[in-house]
Structure 1
Amino acid sequence: MKKWAADMLLVFKNLSMQKKMIYAFSIPVIIICIMINLVCYHIISRNYEERLRYSVNQSCEQAGAFVLNYIENMYYTSALISNNNKVEDVLSSSDFGAERELDEQYREFWKLNDIFQAIALSNPSFRIGLYVPDSLIYSSNNYYFYPESSLKSRKDYKELMKKVAKEKAYFSLIDETVPSNPSRLETNVALFKAINILDEQGKEKAYICKVEIPVTDLEKILQKSKNTQSGLAYILDAGGNLLVSSDENSIKEMYDAGVLPDSKVKSWSEWKAGGTDYYVVWQTVDESSWQMFSMIPVSKFHQQISFIWLIILIIIVVISIAVIIISFLLSRYYVGRLAKLNHKMKTLKSGDLNVGFPMQPELPGDEIDEIFVNFNYMTEEVRRLMREHYKLGKNVMSAELKALQAQINPHFLYNTLDLINWGAMDYGAQQIAEIAQNLGQFYRLSLNHGKNAILIENELKHVEAYVKIENVHFDGAIRLKIEVSEEIRSKACLSIILQPFVENAILHGIAKHPEIKECNIKISAVKEAQELIFHIEDDGYGMEEEQVAQILDNSSSNGYNGYGVKNINFRIKLCYGDKYGISYDSIPGTGTTVHIRIPLMEYEELEEILK
């Protein structure tokens, strides 16, 4: 045994990697699949059989309840007849059944007929009747009244009278003419009951009343109680006589042959009748001692379970084939990737640092993918750092140039603008004086003594100065509205982060579109926890979604003094972090709203960060 195991291990060791993966994956999966399916079959078949038995029992109980309801209503209807005082008055009369004048018998007939008609109308499912002496002229009515001689002619008359004498009901089959078609007979199940009367001389007499129901009504109940089309159902009375059946011909043959099961058989025991094996389920119907039987063919009962077993086998075969195919494809895929990895490693070994693997980094992968991704990430990081280093160098040079420009004697510029202002005032040129004054304030706040931090109050004044200058050019068509609380105005922000967006609103609105006669711009600010959000709204032409999506990538300088949107966003993120910056809401034809999110800071806090 050990030698055989060692030989098998050696054979497995010498197999190719692809075959090893196929065997290692498919064989355990197929074995587990077979075991799971066998367990599932056992559980499903057992549960199905239990549910089927439960369904059969429920159907039988429900059918029994319907039959019992009919029986109880028959008892109730017979009680309405036997306990009726008017009926008792008529039957207890000493003249009842004696020879009398016809008109007296007719009055008696109509009196009884009205009573029976009222009872029949309240119970339309049943047919009722009373056996009266043959001497009465209406004894041959055969609608509500029947001659006693027809009762005495029954084969079971003695048994009937013996049963009703004990104040019990007697059930039996009876053939009656159909009221709507007297030429046709129908078979009914009849309940016979005695009406015991003391006549005026104190002598006890008994008259028999009956309540009938068509056999077809009970047959419908039995048909619905069958769980399979080939199943059988029937009812026996207390004496073992066949009353009703779902299949009259076949069940009658079995009954006559004496092969039908009786109450001695246990429920769910097997019974062979007519060459077919059946499961027998039966119950006693209360109030009548009837026994209702249901016979389900064993083959039909287990047919669905056999079908489940066939499905399980098909599932096992299909899964086994699928597992083998998938094992083959996966093994070929992974072995192929390992071969590619080996080739790339050899290329890397030769000194080619540009080697890489084509990947989709947004998709998760396995360990081999992780190796590929990490390798690509490291090489890409080196290239990115080199690009960032180059870009950072350019930005530093640009910043140094801006700082140098800011130091080119700003006092000379201020003094010159003041000189122009005073000269214009001397000559009465008030508009020129205002322009020079606003321009001086604009540049004084722009340069901000070379500092990047500024009070929000001064940043808003910077915007106001710019709008005043532009309103000279556009004849006062620009309307600026500022809604910023005094508390927020005392806080600090980076310089020149609002004016470029106001400039964009003017340049891309009223400046580019002469048909626009008025430009409305609103600047507001709100606090959210420890954050501050500026909203700059205009009523210009707005932008399409594609423009909004690309605007932060736009490298052009659309703002004042070269400050483009990208530069402002970059400065905010560089100072405060990636969670802060600029966002847009724009609807074409309606306008644009710029949102600038920064932390809420005092001037000293911002100065400390910028050091």
Structure 2
Amino acid sequence: MMRLFDFLKLHQKWLLAIFSLIVVPLVVYTYLSYAKMADMAKKQTIQLAEKTTGRTASELGFLTASSINALDILSLDRNMNEMLSQNPDEHPIPLQLRDYANIVNFANTLERNKDFYRVRLYVRDDFVYANDHVNLFGLSQALSEQWGEDLTRSGQNAHWFIPQEDENADGTPPLVSVARKMLNLDNFTRTNGVIRIDILQSTLTDKLTDTKITDGALVYLQNVQGQIIARSDPELGPEGLPAAKEWLSLPANEWNTRRIGNTSVMLSHRAVEGSDWSLVTVVPVKEVLAGITALRNQLIAILLSIVLFAYFLAYLASKAGTKKIKHLIKRMKKVQSGDLNVIISRYGKDELGELVENFNYMIVKLTGLMNEHVQLGIALRSADLRTLQSQINPHFLYNSLDLINCTAIEHQVPDITKMVRALTKYYKIGLSKGMNIVSLESELEHAKAYVQIMNMRYADAVEFNIDIDTSLLCCRIPKITLQPLVENAILHGILEKENKRGTIRLTGRRDHAAIRLFLEDDGIGIPANKLGTLFSHNAHDLQQAESGIGIQNTHDRLRLAYGEAFGLNLKSEPGRGTIVEIRFPGDSGFEDK
């Protein structure tokens, strides 16, 4: 920790001290206060929610109990049992109509309960009153519906369900229903029919809406199959409802905090007696803490004001103490970027003034050393260029003289004049009156003179084609750049072929600020293992050294003259030839020193 403190700047240490003494205690106090108030708000919300959900659960339990009690009254009524137990074929129609009136009267009596929307009886289809489609329906209709199949399969005394949507096609509002079988009281193996009581879904919705303790709270009923019976905001559809797995694993009648999606909520569920329903309550934590959050924001605003004020004080204090140090640091950064004109003229007599005095002395010494280094570099660069160039001229001079001798012996003088003229042109261009930089046009003439000499020796074995735009001929290039490459292409490429004949093609183009020449031959090519070592100064054998000296020296001369971005690049395929790329600046600015 102390080592980290040592790396901090002075004004950062001041800020750290202010934060330690003022800001940190305030932040801790604000956090603890908010946490305490948030906990109190949650407890109060839970107490209120417990009271409202308990009341709603009791009301729903009373509703389900009264519904089941009404079913029991109808199922166990002796008169109702006798009327529905009659054989329709043997029971006269007048008596059936009398029974119909009694049954409808009984149903209407039950419908006077404000929570019941309709009482339905599903009786045997043979009765004349079986399909009035108000209170009486055919038993086959019930058994063909999904809820009828579920009732038969479940074996329960009462089965709660939501009717299918096609039952509401005639404008009937959404319903929640409960049904049970009517057994023959004289023979329990026989079924007289099915009783069903419909309750408006809006009745349940109103009770759930009254349970909400915040605007964003959600209260809904869900059965064991996961079906939503009713919810406090029916217009939202399934939106915002947590999956059943979110609350089924939680203990009943307890409140737990869960994250559903990106929202943190308080969640509780409890069973509704007389049904397979669960009353689920979801309260967003942000609404519970809305008032506390506003207070927290006020505290944060006050805290930020204190932090800004403390920062301002620390800034003034650190600026007064570090002004000279920052000035010295700026001068040091200029030195890092290469600017040595950074002498500080005014400084005091204290320890900082002594530091500035030593800095000025260091800059003076450094400037002297840099100037000395520059002069040495210029001298070394010029010497390197001339040394590399001198390695090439004697090598070719020996071959040319040998060629003159051979020509004189073989041809008995006739071609000596032609040979001497070509050789004279070659050396005249090569010497260039002592200049190290010549035009590209002069270099091309030099290369053509060399090819002419070689064709005299090898009976026109080389065809030399040049395709370069005339606008490039005035560009400057170090002399004797092309000739060593042409020589290498002839001696180690074309003349190594079985027929000892071939073509050299020289093309070029401008690439932005650079000139790119391509010297291509159809010689034997260069093996891959040898290609990678041509630019190496350590030749593995004598043959490799002889074949690569021209390429290596030319590459080094271009890099010394123009920098690392320029020079040669080779591509070769054994048996098909070699391409040498020569890259140099279009307007180099190179001065002949």
TM-score bracket for the superposition, by shorter chain length: 0.3 to 0.5
| TM-score using structure 1 length | 0.41
